[in-house]
Structure 1
Amino acid sequence: MTNRPTGDRESSGESALGFDEFIAILVAFTTIGGIIFWSFSRKDSGWNFNKVLSPLPIPSANVQPNNLPSPFPTAKSEPNPGSNINTLPSPPDADVVEPDTMQAPIDQVIPRQVLPSPNVAPIESNKTQTPVSFSKGLESSIKSSPLPLVSPAKQKSTIPPPIAFNDVSSDFWAGRFIDALSSRGIIKGFPDYTFRPNQPVNRAEFAAILEQAFEKEGNNSIISFQDVSTKFWATPAINRAINTGFLKGYPNKTFKPEQKISRVQVLVALVSGLNLKEPATPSQILSVYKDAQDIPKYATGKIAAATTNGLVVNYPNSKIFAPNKEATRAEVAAMIHQALVRTGRLERISSQSIVQLSQ
């Protein structure tokens, strides 16, 4: 058994604290209690321990030293009232910077565009902006100053090309008259694509051409002729020609639809239907024709009116009227054309066959 020195006793876990250790522990607890009491006794209830414990912020690149003037206009930044002051600091790439973490004075910070955070409620402006209603403004302006009504323009009619008849050459004397009427459906040819320009025209055919050419309104009375049945193909055209004043029947209540119509009868019918005024001295006007003596007495005034209005077309000699000659389809087409020119529906055609009085 080994002998130990009396002063070197083995330490025991049950040994009491020393006086110096007790004093140190007492001082530590007293200090901590004082700090806690001091912190809770402050009037500022917004004390934030997170700020005390948070690490020091890294100076931003947008903060300039105090001794350098800012090249940009200064702006005072205010904290967003919608943000929570107890939240953790924003990430490094955020555009919102807490004012308390800035190392430089606020008036030296370069102004930046602050984008709203998705977790922060937008700031509402105190000023209320009244939206402008364009529809109401337009409606009020229309009511105050009414605009003039504009009627749509009438659509121009498209005239189809004329019918290419096999027996009407390009140099035919009445070719241009025939083309003008055929393109408008006033005259038509035969199933074999012929016009038969030299064929005479009877009274029924002439009535049908008048019905297609003129839009003159007349009464709707039905005249019964002994030689025209109700089922005759030209009965509607004959009734219209009688009611509009172009044609007349004979005294014995006959119309003679198959009778060939003469040149003088064509012109008398046109002058009567258009109500053209007869000149005071018809004989002087009719002296332009070498065969004026062949004109029937009843028709002298009408033919003089037809001459002064440019309705007479003579071929091949414009000085030969040939009043009692049967009118051909080409001659009827030329005279109908001239009557439409007189009413303003067609344009004039230059032709040596048109009789023109010397001025």
Structure 2
Amino acid sequence: MTNRPPSEPESSQKTALGFDEFIAILVAFTTIGTILFWSLSRRDSSWNLNGLLLPSSTPSPSVRPNPVLPSPAAKVEPYTVPNNVLPYSSPEAVVEPKTLSFPTNSATPYRAMLPSILVIPTQAPQPQTPVSPPTELESSLKSSALPLVTPAKPKSIIPPPIAFNDVPNDFWSRRFIDVLSARGILKGFPDYSFRPNQPVNRAEFAAILEKAFDQEPSKTAIAFQDVPTNFWATPAIDQAISAGFLKGYPKKTFKPQQNISRVQVLVALVSGLNLKAPTSPNQIISVYKDAKDIPPYAIAKIAAATTNGLVVNYPNPQVLDPNKVASRAEVAAMIHQALVKRGKLPAITSPNIVRSSPKISPELPQSPKTPTPKAKLTTGGSPQQ
């Protein structure tokens, strides 16, 4: 007879949960839920729920809650309470968070001991204050007491004068040359020299006039026989003729290479500026020791140049030397004075500027034997405007 292994005991059949046990569990959960709801609904209660659930002990410094605050820019989704979670408090019963105590020696997991610290907002975020449109901002600025500042136009900056190597600091015409060279009216030579004592011809003088007085382009040009169309100074000559500074010679000649004299420079400036001649020109020019050398056609013009401060004589202010060829330094001084008269440049003080103030009594007739009184010569001042 074969021995059979003992048969395994049959597993006992699980007994279903009884009605009494189900009622006991339901009562227990209801009691716990009631206690939680009552503790959370008390606004000013000092009773700590954690003290009821957890034994008081020294909190561990290494374990700190890390609250997660909702981002103000993030979109908050409405929170749906699951069926197996107890209901939370209403918006009117929000409890301020308090310091929680944690046990150091506890086998209970951290998440099982503490309630959720994630704060879910139950109210819609408050609408932000609308920003006033730019039109309201502009109107408020206009109505304010402080006036609006309008940016000023940029001022023109004059470059420094050219430091010519042949014009020393004590040169008599240095200040006139510096003012004109800084504004580009007069230029030097490629070797950084100015050559102040070099003569000036009529074509060069016309080019200086063009840069100094900003003349309008000539509408009617004279076709001089000795001025080619492609000549470098043809535009300047045409403008000097049309503006009334210079005139040609008979037979439609201009003589561009002819050196210009001092009296011709003064006559050209008086004509171009349209200065009126004084009533007693002979008495005005009597301030010069060499007045007899002035050509008859230029007496009235030289008198007008003298009364308006255009005459600059070096080294002796009483010597005009009218028929002398004008140098570059002398032309610079006279052009400067003409620009002062027109109001383009400020006046400077120089002992070489001639300014006369005649003292003549028009009521008393002059005796034929009485010598003609000379005008009083003063130097160093600016011209009378």
Q: Shorter chain as normaliser: what TM range? A: 0.5 to 0.7
Partner of 1:229: 228
Partner of 1:172: 171
Aligned residues: 280
Partner of 1:212: 211
For 1:246, the aligned partner's letter is F
Q: Within the alignment, does 1:50 sit opposite 2:29 as a pair?
A: no
1:117 positional shift = 5.8
**C-alpha distance 210-56 of structure 1, shift in aligned 2 (>3 A):** closer
Aligned ranges for residues 286-305 of structure 1 at < 5 Å? 286-305=285-304
Partner of 2:111: none
Partner of 1:356: 355
SS at match of 1:273: helix
1:343 positional shift = 2.1
Tell me the alpha carbon deviations over residues 48-82 of structure 1, each in whole angstroms, 9 at most, x when there is no partner: 6534599975279xxxxxxxxxxxxxxxxxxxx97
1:142 positional shift = 6.7
Q: In 2, distance between residues paired with 1:254 and 1:303?
A: 25
1:214 positional shift = 1.4
SS at match of 1:180: helix
Partner of 1:106: none
Tell me the alpha carbon deviations over residues 196-250 of structure 1, each in whole angstroms, 9 at most, x when there is no partner: 2222211111111111211132533221001111121211111111122111111
Q: Within the alignment, does 1:161 sit opposite 2:144 as a pair?
A: no
The answer for unaligned runs of 5 or more in structure 1 is 1-28, 40-45, 61-80, 98-115
SS at match of 1:357: strand
1:83 positional shift = 9.2
**C-alpha distance 229-308 of structure 1, shift in aligned 2 (>3 A):** same
Q: In 1, distance between residues paired with 2:340 and 2:351?
A: 16
Q: In 1, distance between residues paired with 2:36 and 2:355?
A: 119
Aligned ranges for residues 80-229 of structure 1 at < 5 Å? 86=86, 95-96=96-97, 118-124=118-124, 130-141=129-140, 150=150, 152-165=152-165, 167-229=166-228
Percent of aligned positions with the same letter in both sequences? 57
1:176 positional shift = 1.8
1:122 positional shift = 4.2
Moved more, 184-193 or 253-262: 184-193
**C-alpha distance 291-56 of structure 1, shift in aligned 2 (>3 A):** closer
1:119 positional shift = 4.5
Q: Report if the CA contact (8 A) 1:48-1:86 is conserved.
A: no
Q: In 2, distance between residues paired with 1:141 and 1:322?
A: 72
Q: In 2, distance between residues paired with 1:219 and 1:318?
A: 37
Q: In 2, distance between residues paired with 1:270 and 1:118?
A: 95
Q: In 2, distance between residues paired with 1:48 and 1:279?
A: 125
**C-alpha distance 273-148 of structure 1, shift in aligned 2 (>3 A):** farther
Partner of 2:278: 279
Q: In 1, distance between residues paired with 2:174 and 2:128?
A: 78
Q: Report if the CA contact (8 A) 1:307-1:356 is conserved.
A: yes
TM-score with structure 1 length normalisation? 0.66
1:129 positional shift = 6.1
1:144 positional shift = 8.0
Aligned ranges for residues 235-250 of structure 1 at < 5 Å? 235-250=234-249
For 1:269, the aligned partner's letter is A
Q: In 2, distance between residues paired with 1:212 and 1:338?
A: 15
Q: In 2, distance between residues paired with 1:138 and 1:304?
A: 66
**C-alpha distance 304-56 of structure 1, shift in aligned 2 (>3 A):** closer
1:160 positional shift = 2.5
TM-score with structure 2 length normalisation? 0.62
Aligned ranges for residues 67-78 of structure 1 at < 5 Å? none
- The CA RMSD measured in Å over matched residues stands at 4.0
1:134 positional shift = 4.7
Q: In 1, distance between residues paired with 2:252 and 2:280?
A: 34
**C-alpha distance 117-274 of structure 1, shift in aligned 2 (>3 A):** farther
